[in-house]
Amino acid sequence: MPIHCLQKLATLDVSNNFFQGHIPVEIGTYLPGLMHLNLSRNAFNGSIPSSFADMKMLKSLDISYNQLTSAIPERMAMGCFTLEILALSNNSLQGHIFSKKFNLTNLKRLQLDGNKFIGEIPESLSKCYLLGGLYLSDNHLSGKIPRWLGSLLALQDIIMPNNNLEGPIPNEFCQLNCQKVLDLSNNNLSYNRLQGSIPNWIDRLPQISYLLLANNYIEGEIPAQLCQLKEVRLIDLSHNNLSGHIPFCLVNTALSEGYYDAVAPTWDHASAPALSYFSPNGSPMGKEETVQFTTKNMSYYY
């Protein structure tokens, strides 16, 4: 840490190093003017310092891929009200995600995947009307998928596989006209013993790029409304009880384009490349997600 307070330092990126030990508890006091802070992919342990709340202009904070424990400090959830990107993925954070005392209403991307969070998805997130990406996979979350998620109209990615969520998929999701990815696999609802038929209202989700409904109990015919999903690039309906014909009109979707350019090459998780969440000027970059796709009884990861 610097000897004196650095008021004018706006960006600090020390990611992908071999830093160990605790993140200094007074970091917010010494660097109060930070707007972008990236400490990801190190070996920091201990708790998240509550002094992050002293960074009153902080827009992006990435401390993912470390060995942090404990919970998200309540003072940070109240004081970092300018935060737009919060990436805490792949640590060992515990407890409930947020308490009722919550003021991060400017969040655009929340990445909490790969931790040990418990309890329900907190209702405090219903205030985040700018939220475009919600990543909660690989935790121990339980309860129902909240209906108020359908009122967050900026949502594009809802990624929540590998939890203990249950109950129905809310009809309110049909209001999310910007939605591109919805992954609820490996819960108690999807991959997941889904029954019935593919709903005719599926065309009300025009931004869907990947539709993966494999390994369920879906029956009936494949609806022609799938042809209205002009952006869809992968459809996996394998291992169900479908009957009838494949709609010929699917050639009018992105499925007919050169798929070698549409998807990334395959890799296994052990050799997956490091992802960067911030460009040099601090603006957010896309977060890659791996999807499993089955064809001719062979499963591939894209």
DSSP-derived 3-state class of residue 75: helix
Over the stretch 223-277, which tens digit does the pLDDT of each residue have?
999 999 888 888 889 889 999 999 999 888 888 775 444 444 333 333 333 333 4
pLDDT at 195: 87
Question: Does some domain include residue 213?
Answer: no
Mean pLDDT of the chain: 86
CA distances from 2 to 13, 29, 55, 63, 295 (A): 15, 11, 16, 20, 56
Measure the CA–CA gap between 152 and 126, rounded to whole angstroms. 7
- CATH number for position 178: 3.80.10.10
Domain of residue 120: give its range.
Answer: 11-192
Which of the pair, 145 or 210, is modelled with greater confidence?
145
pTM of the model: 0.74
Mean pLDDT of 58-78: 95
The percent of residues in the chain predicted with pLDDT above 90, rounded, is 59
Looking at residue 267, what is its pLDDT?
35
pLDDT tier, 63 (very low <50, low <70, confident <90, very high otherwise) = very high
3-class DSSP state for residue 101? coil
Radius of gyration of the CA atoms of the chain, in A: 21
- Distance between CA atoms of residues 95 and 87, nearest Å: 17
Confidence of residue 287 (pLDDT cuts 50, 70, 90): low
Q: Phi, psi at residue 110, to the nearest 5°? A: -125, 115
Q: 3-state secondary structure string, 241-256? A: EECCCCCHHHHHCHHH
What is the predicted pLDDT for the residue at 256? Answer: 76
Place of tokens 């972008």: 36
**Interatomic CA distance for residues 205 and 180, integer angstroms:** 8
Average pLDDT over residues 70-79: 94
Q: How far apart are CA 102 and CA 49, in angstroms?
A: 16
Domains contained in the chain, number: 1
Residue 243 burial (10 A CB sphere; 0-12, 13-18, 19+): exposed
Question: Is 106 in contact with 83 (CB distance < 8 Å)?
Answer: yes
Cα 36-40-43 angle, rounded to 5 deg: 140
Highest mean pLDDT among 53-57, 199-203, 280-284: 53-57
Confidence of residue 191 (pLDDT cuts 50, 70, 90): low
Residue 241 maps to a domain: no
- Evaluate whether residue 231 is within a structural domain: no
* CA dist., res. 205 & res. 7, Å (int): 46
Which has the closest alpha carbon to 297: 239, 241, 250? 239
pLDDT over 70 percentage in the chain:
89
pLDDT-derived band at 78, boundaries 50, 70, 90: very high
Tens of pLDDT, residue by residue over 268-279, are: 333 333 333 444
Identify which has the larger pLDDT, 194 or 25: 25
Residue 61: the pLDDT is 97
In a domain, 127, yes or no: yes
